[in-house]
Amino acid sequence: MLEVKHIRAHQSDFIEALKKRNFEAEAVFESILKLDDKRKATQKQLDEILSESNTLSKEIGMLFKSGEKEKANELKAKTAGLKEDSKRLGEEMSQAAAELQALLYQVPNIPHASVPAGKTEEDNQEILREGEVPTLPKNALPHWELAKKYDLIDFELGNKITGAGFPVYKGKGAKLQRALISYFLDKNTQAGYQEVQVPLLVNEASGYGTGQLPDKEGQMYHVGNDDLYLIPTAEVPITNIYRDDLLTEKDLPIQLTGYTPCFRREAGSYGAHVRGLNRLHQFDKVELVNIVKPEDSYQVLDQMVKHVQGLLQELELPYRILRLCGGDLGFTSALTYDFELFSTAQDRWLEISSVSNFETFQANRLKIRYKDAQKKKALVHTLNGSSLALPRVLAGLLENYQTENGILIPKVLQPYTGFDLIA
RNA sequence: GGAGAAAUGGCAGAGUGGUCGAAUGCGGCAGUCUUGAAAACUGUUGAGGGUCACACCUCCGGGGGUUCGAAUCCCUCUUUCUCCGCCA
């Protein structure tokens, strides 16, 4: 959520910048500023009335104490009108505030200067491509065939237990996935992140805090009885750890990593590319979250990109990094780098990580602030990224490491799996 | 799930319906003393809105109510604790 004072100060710049997202901001901004003015003016009137009635109440108290009952009753009569006014103004004010809030929720984050204009993923900017695409054996299979051949993942079983998009991992498939989780968490903690385990269900306030609500309501599973949401990413519970907190400079940076299953309804995204592990309703992911001082955030973003690159290099998987264009950029993000893994057998790129700087957009909703050296309060910057989304890494490993004798296991994972070949 | 108790500032902990944004202690910050540190002493120390800055307004778990006036009374929700039951 943008800050009104920033909209006021940079109105035309913001309008221009939001065009990169194909978001027409002029009218919304005007309404926002108007409502903010109204809110302030109403608040001022209300304050004056409250002030007057506070004074009167005190006088009445004094008069009762000194036994001047009649005078007190006279003053009492005067308060009736004030009460009515304050009630009316109070309602006006909270209505203006609510309308303002609703409008602010509609405005996406201002894209960073380096974000390319564009409408679809076609316009994303490839900034790096690395890793060798292996030459596969003649009869190379896509991962869903491999999963079946070696009995690693059972998709039909998931259908029976739950429904489409909830696979059952078995044997070496399950173990390989567990190995990846441990490997990622170890690498992350070695890089200075603190490991956390967080709830998989969150309340409404948390959903609003990180921006899944209200914009992506339909994408989350909702538990109606208790009005809770299954997390679509660990970003939600982890970032919300610090909701409403006023931190000190010493607390920063905060670097957290956590493994969680993620649940996504993926409403409306059925179609060609959902086979196998490509798109699931439940999947595992290890997440990185950074809470930092504003002046550090872009340096930290680069560090996160380097860190994720390191993982892919160690796994020896071919990947590329994209800078997302305005049209593809997430609602809350100012700058996002997507990592895509090349799925050799499918001959296509699979998104496996998304590393973003939200600047103050989430912090403003979450009310995460800190006191700087001059004891001034300011919103922090939040960042997050996946390290990594498991099923697609698994898909990439199966496909790219397949040989005629079976599927090889990358060296760095062997200590975790305890085997070096799936045959 | 049943019965009871509670929720106050970073923490601990007072608070009779009427200058209570709130005693006191600890912690934090600044200073005095000291070669330095500790101790001791002195001062300072919640958040949001508003203002150039004051003034002023709001906030004592959340929401609602009674009252001229609520941290204090009533209703409701949530959470925590104790006991009982159930249970990974």
Model confidence pLDDT, tens digit, residues A291-313: 999 999 999 999 999 999 999 99
Mean pLDDT of A114-126: 93
The CA–C1' separation of A221 and B1, in angstroms, is: 27
Point out the residue nearest to B68 (C-alpha to C1').
A76
The CA–C1' separation of A244 and B66, in angstroms, is: 32
**Residue boundaries of the structural domains of chain A:** 4-106, 121-422
User: What pLDDT, on a 0 to 100 scale, did the predictor assign at position A329?
Assistant: 94
The ipTM assigned to this model is 0.84
User: What pLDDT, on a 0 to 100 scale, did the predictor assign at position A81?
Assistant: 84
User: What pLDDT, on a 0 to 100 scale, did the predictor assign at position A270?
Assistant: 60
A262 exposure class (CB count in 10 Å sphere: 0-12, 13-18, 19+) = buried
For chain A, give the percent of residues with pLDDT over 90. Answer: 61
To the nearest whole number, what is the mean pLDDT of chain A?
90
Contact A353, A308 (CB under 8 A): yes
Q: What confidence tier does A271 reach under pLDDT thresholds 50, 70, 90?
A: low
Model confidence pLDDT, tens digit, residues A147-179: 999 999 999 999 999 988 999 999 999 999 999
Residue A47, CB, less than 7 Å from strand B?
Answer: yes
Does residue A272 have a pLDDT over 70? no
Does residue A31 have a pLDDT over 60? yes
Nucleotide of closest approach to A82 (CA, C1'):
B68
Check whether domain A4-106 has CATH 1.10.287.40, yes or no: yes
Residue A78, CB, less than 7 Å from strand B?
Answer: no
Q: Cα–Cα distance between A80 and A84 in angstroms, integer?
A: 7
Rounded (10°) CA dihedral A274, A275, A277, A280: 40
Q: Domain A121-422 carries which CATH code? A: 3.30.930.10
Residues 6+ apart with CB under 8 A from A357: A112, A297, A298, A300, A301, A333, A334, A335, A336, A381, A383
Mean pLDDT of A247-274: 82
Q: Cα–Cα distance between A91 and A111 in angstroms, integer?
A: 36
Q: What confidence tier does A276 reach under pLDDT thresholds 50, 70, 90?
A: confident
User: What pLDDT, on a 0 to 100 scale, did the predictor assign at position A269?
Assistant: 61
- Nucleotides on strand B lying under 7 Å from protein C-beta: 18-19, 47-51, 56-58, 68-69
A85 exposure class (CB count in 10 Å sphere: 0-12, 13-18, 19+) = middle
Q: Cα–Cα distance between A332 and A213 in angstroms, integer?
A: 11
Mean pLDDT of A41-59: 90
Contact A220, A263 (CB under 8 A): yes
Q: Cα–Cα distance between A21 and A176 in angstroms, integer?
A: 39
User: What pLDDT, on a 0 to 100 scale, did the predictor assign at position A83?
Assistant: 84
pLDDT: is A238 or A217 the higher one?
Answer: A238
The CA–C1' separation of A178 and B55, in angstroms, is: 63
Model confidence pLDDT, tens digit, residues A325-368: 999 999 999 999 999 999 888 889 999 999 999 999 999 989 99
User: What pLDDT, on a 0 to 100 scale, did the predictor assign at position A268?
Assistant: 61
User: What pLDDT, on a 0 to 100 scale, did the predictor assign at position A16?
Assistant: 94
Q: Do domains A4-106 and A121-422 have the same CATH topology?
A: no
Helix axes A26-65, A4-18, angle to 10 degrees: 170
Contact A381, A294 (CB under 8 A): yes
Residue A273, CB, less than 7 Å from strand B?
Answer: no
A248 exposure class (CB count in 10 Å sphere: 0-12, 13-18, 19+) = exposed
In 10 A of CB A131, how many CB atoms? 17
Reported as type and span, the H/E element at residue A104 is helix A69-106
User: What pLDDT, on a 0 to 100 scale, did the predictor assign at position A256?
Assistant: 95
Residue A57, CB, less than 7 Å from strand B?
Answer: yes
Contact A362, A379 (CB under 8 A): no
Mean pLDDT of A108-123: 93
Where does A211-296 have alpha helices with state H? 235-240
In 10 A of CB A236, how many CB atoms? 27
Does residue A21 have a pLDDT over 80? yes
Model confidence pLDDT, tens digit, residues A191-225: 999 999 999 999 888 888 888 887 777 889 988 77
The CA–C1' separation of A58 and B23, in angstroms, is: 22
